[in-house]
A and B are shown apart, each in its own frame.
Chain A
Amino acid sequence: MKVILGDNQFFGVNHFDLQKGDKTKLKFDTTSKIESFINDSLEIGLDGFMINSNEKGYKIVNTANFDDSKEIHYSIPYPHKYAGMVNEKGMLSLFEHVIKNTSFIKNVFGGIKFLFTQDLKCIVPLALNLEAPRNLNKGNYIYIQNIITDLLLGMGRGDILIEFIKKVTKMGYKPGIITLNPIMLDKVLETEKEAIWLKDLVVCFNINKEGFNVFPSLDIIEDFIKSRPKYKLMGMSVFASGAGNINQSINYIKKFELDYVVFGSSQLENIKSNYSLLKN
């Protein structure tokens, strides 16, 4: 099981305690502090780190140097930016933003295709072009955030997720999907049982012994993990956003054959002890 550093602590996300989230955000108020914390965590032995495509995340991946043997799991898009855009200017502003900000070449091919078909699938390469940092080394991972995954699943547009996976693979990266509805996603992936990319795909979902934000239910997700799908499984929120007892949470997680676990903390000592407990 590979252990990946999460990024919630860098950006003030704490599903358990909002005030605590705001405090840790202050600790990481510059990209150099985040970069330094990531490097220290990788030196402890973590296998890589996950980071979101917000302004700081993009800059870090584009400019910082990390050990090439470590994995970067880059997630797109930054949902709050787009939610704000929709609030202020309406739904169509999203398309306007993507088309205005992607490269000319991508726009000529992708934009024309979108204009003729009006199929949202044609937006996928444009969005990837916009969100993926140029200096993200091939072979690393690009994920789609759960707010988009789950919206598309609800809309009945799992085919757009398949398109995302294919385009990421074609770009030379490995695909990842974050979702809070892994069973529904698994049904979409059933149509792609023979796809070559399936072995590289990572599906990231909540799992913790408290069953906090584990959907549709803890029992069903435990059975899902035990069924060992052909793609890789990554457990997130394994400490129930800080609510759980660390030792018990880790013992619980180690019962399962997960390929990855992602967790965050603003304290290096916690990273070190959690890593040690997970690996031993």
Chain B
Amino acid sequence: MKILIYGFGRMGLTHFSILNGINPKIQFSVIEPNRLLRVLLKKNINARFYADDTNLKDAFDVTLITTPPSMHLQLLEKSLKRGDKKIFVEKPFGGHANIKLNHILQHRNIIHIGYVLRFNSCIQWVKSNINPQDIKSIHGQYLSNTIEKKPSGWRNGSFSGVLNEMGSHVIDLIQYIVGDDQIDVLSSKKESIISDIDDIVEATLKTKNDISISMYLNWVKKDIRKPVFAIEIEMKDSYKYSIDQQQVNKYDRNGEFIEKISITDLTKTIPFYLRGVDFTDQMLDLLGEQKIMASVNEALVVNQLMNKILNNESNTRR
């Protein structure tokens, strides 16, 4: 199997290591424009390294695009032209500005987007056990202390921000759980605290089926050691579910705790572990039948919603 990776930053390296851990017979080619990094990688990693893709004419079995989001679309178009068989693009697939893509939708079956939180065992439990038609409202939250100093480069520009980088995960999860891609933005608010872009975002939304959605995203929360995502679901019968990476808690209509489904109840086996079961499962799904992975259509809905949230008239910038 021949795999091409565009960009060998933290995500490129993670995916390479997992795929190589799963199947050491894979032949890797890597496009890394940074000369110094390329020289270093060539000496240390068993892969072919290129400065650009000019001389790569033959189709690859799998291509991973793990560059900064501003390059996602351009590289996807090149990969499609080359005839690559499966193309994986890291979330948020070009970000909130990447919304007019009719020309690539004919290839929707081979393009997959890396919303890794879908692979979390608790989210998979919710997907299998909660009927979206019974949901009344859903609240999504993402908290972290990712930005401690003003970031440099693209991470301080319009392709970054807590909404593009973390909120896209939350929107994708909500869309995945409610199974509805027709969602409207009712209100939104954003704040810049450390970076020049959005560090805190709040929004309210509604689906076509009348499910109320609210979101709170904050990546400058100093007391958080490890990023936390959380989903709260209220059912039409007033029962509630509280979900994070490690557990699903169910409460009755009086708020009394009923049961807990823990990640330890949902134990999985994987052939190679790095950074979490979810990351390995994602790569296994990519190599397999892509049953869980986000489609390009779903990723476009996320981008459109982010665009509306960032450009909504009720935005306030402090």
- How many chain B residues touch A (CB < 8 A): the figure is 48
Per-residue A-contact encoding for B34-69, CB less than 8 Å = 1, 0 else: 101101100111100000000000000000000000
Give A244 to B263 CA distance when docked, in angstroms: 12
Give the chain A neighbours of B274 by CB distance below 8 A. Answer: 147, 150-151, 154
Q: Is the CB of A17 closer than 8 A to any CB of chain B?
A: yes
Give the chain B neighbours of A67 by CB distance below 8 A. Answer: none
A151 touches B271 (CB 8 A): no
Give A150 to B226 CA distance when docked, in angstroms: 19
Give the chain A neighbours of B225 by CB distance below 8 A. Answer: 11-13, 21-22, 25, 80
Q: Is the interface of B mostly helix, strand, loop or mixed?
A: loop
B44 smallest CB distance to A (angstroms): 5
B16 touches A154 (CB 8 A): yes
Q: Looking across the interface, which residue of chain B has its beta carbon closest to that of A18?
A: B228
Give A212 to B270 CA distance when docked, in angstroms: 11
Known: A91-B37, A211-B267, A241-B264. A83 touches B46 (CB 8 A): no
Q: Is the CB of A157 closer than 8 A to any CB of chain B?
A: yes
Known: A155-B17, A215-B269, A216-B269. A92 touches B10 (CB 8 A): no
Give the chain A neighbours of B262 by CB distance below 8 A. Answer: 16, 243
Give A80 to B34 CA distance when docked, in angstroms: 24
A18 touches B273 (CB 8 A): no
Per-residue B-contact encoding for A69-110, CB less than 8 Å = 1, 0 else: 000000000001001101111111001000000000000000
Known: A117-B43, A118-B39, A118-B40. A212 touches B10 (CB 8 A): no
Give the chain A neighbours of B275 by CB distance below 8 A. Answer: 147
Give A157 to B244 CA distance when docked, in angstroms: 34
Give the chain B neighbours of A88 by CB distance below 8 A. Answer: 149, 151-152, 155
Give the chain A neighbours of B39 by CB distance below 8 A. Answer: 118
Per-residue B-contact encoding for A33-55, CB less than 8 Å = 1, 0 else: 00000000000000000000000
List the interface of chain A (C-beta within 8 A of B). Answer: 11-13, 15-18, 21-22, 25, 80, 83-84, 86-92, 95, 117-120, 147, 150-151, 153-157, 180-181, 184, 210-218, 240-241, 243-244
Given contacts A87-B151, A92-B34, A243-B265, 10 further A-B pairs with CB under 8 A are A12-B225, A17-B246, A17-B247, A80-B225, A86-B10, A90-B9, A91-B9, A215-B271, A216-B270, A240-B264
